[in-house]
Structure 1
Amino acid sequence: MFERFTKDARDVVRGAVEHCEGAGVRTVGAEHLLLALLDREGGRASFALAALGLADRGDSVREALEESRRRAGLSRAESDALAGLGIDVTEIVARVEEVHGVGAMAAGRRAGRPSFGRDAKRILEQSLRMALAHRDRRIGDEHILLALTTQPGPTAEVLADHGVTHAALTRILYGDAEPKAS
């Protein structure tokens, strides 16, 4: 599949590995792909992010991803569901961090070469589907960004909170709400 990736898309994948290593975690996740996309300039994804006003709000996205990481990767919806059962995730995180330090609940801090986690693999597979749905011959960084908006979880939630939805991206990148049926 990687032979179908454009240079920009390959750079995003490499950047995700670098973000993972920089964070001291062993598993590349969807959040690392998003962070790598935020670092990029000049690609179709960076154009779309700028058009949606995210270019100037990258720090806000990074902070939201960090907050999710501190909650052990739980989305806000998952935290709300637990709150409905009487479990206060914020209180649990505070208590754990009080004893073990900030970020103690973040998963996967180990040495060694990072591997791609299930969510990151799903995003890359979905990026192929996005390219095929739009009849694009290559998988570009824009397809990775589109895929990030389709997979439930903290990364898609953070994007949506910042106005980056699948429908909005599709309009900017392709000028319509949905890809044409084959």
Structure 2
Amino acid sequence: MFERFSRNARVAVVLAQEEARELNADEIRPEHILVGVLQSAGRELSSVLEGYGLTANAVRDRLAADESAGGSFDDDAEALRSIGIDLRAVRDNIDRTFGEGTFDNEVRKPGRRRRRRSHLPFTKPAKMVLELALREALAHKDNGIACEHILLGILRGGDAFTLQVIGEKVDAAQLRAAIVDLLDKAA
């Protein structure tokens, strides 16, 4: 299927993989594809998206906020205590050995990357986005799959989290209409 992708659409998929790695995800999800599309979109699509405030940085900030809200030290300590690990004792021991605040500073370093295997799999919803992008291209009688088609696939795929992230900036139906209008003008 990737042979039908335009250069920008291929770049979007590669950037989605990189985004997933940056966030230490074990798989590529629709929100990673969204960030990839936002980074690689052509001038006209970028202009439309920026008009709604839908930018890669805005989505990244939202993803980072969601990740940091996902759990606190106390939640982690409670979960580990249930299996016999005292996280507070671990933190205190690390701070005694390496200096006050070492544990918290290392845990909270932004942009930390772990070594990962080279290939990250796509989740079922992410695969669905790419399949729907192909269907959108066929429905619009386009020869290739562009970033516009991928965005339409995201909107049509119905991944609740990604639609919520988009919906915080623009109504999904309004965005869909704007993208379809771009495709119609290009035809």
Q: Which TM-score applies when normalising by structure 2? A: 0.66
Q: Which structure has the highest helix share of the two?
A: 2
Q: Deviations over 1:61-119 (max 9, x none)?
A: 222223344566xxxxxxxxxxxxxxxxxxxx33425667879xxxxx88312111112
Which of these residues, 155, 158, 175, is aligned with residue 162 of structure 2? 155
What is the aligned residue count?
Answer: 149
State how far apart, in whole Å, the 2-side matches of 1:70 and 1:54 are.
21
Q: Which has the larger radius of gyration?
A: 2
Once the two structures are superposed, the pairs formed by residues 119-134 of structure 1 within 5 Å of their partners are: 119-134=125-140
- Look up the equivalent residue of 2:116 and give its one-letter code: A
Name the counterpart of 1:118: 124
- Look up the equivalent residue of 1:49 and give its one-letter code: L
Q: Deviations over 1:130-155 (max 9, x none)?
A: 11222222110111111112223111
Name the counterpart of 1:67: 65
Name the counterpart of 2:20: 20
Residue pair 2:9, 2:147 contacting (<8 A) in 1 also: yes
Please, which runs of 5 or more residues in structure 2 have no aligned partner? 79-86, 88-103, 109-113
Name the counterpart of 2:75: 96
Name the counterpart of 1:48: 48
Identical-residue share of aligned pairs (%): 32
SS in structure 2 at match of 1:114: coil
State how far apart, in whole Å, the 2-side matches of 1:70 and 1:119 are.
23
Give the CA RMSD over aligned residues. Answer: 2.9
SS in structure 2 at match of 1:115: coil
Residue pair 1:149, 1:156 contacting (<8 A) in 2 also: yes
The verdict on how the C-alpha distance between 1:145 and 1:164 changes in structure 2, with shifts beyond 3 A counting, is farther
SS in structure 2 at match of 1:175: helix
Q: Which moved more, 1:128-137 or 1:34-43?
A: 34-43
4+ runs deviating over 3 angstroms: 67-72, 97-103
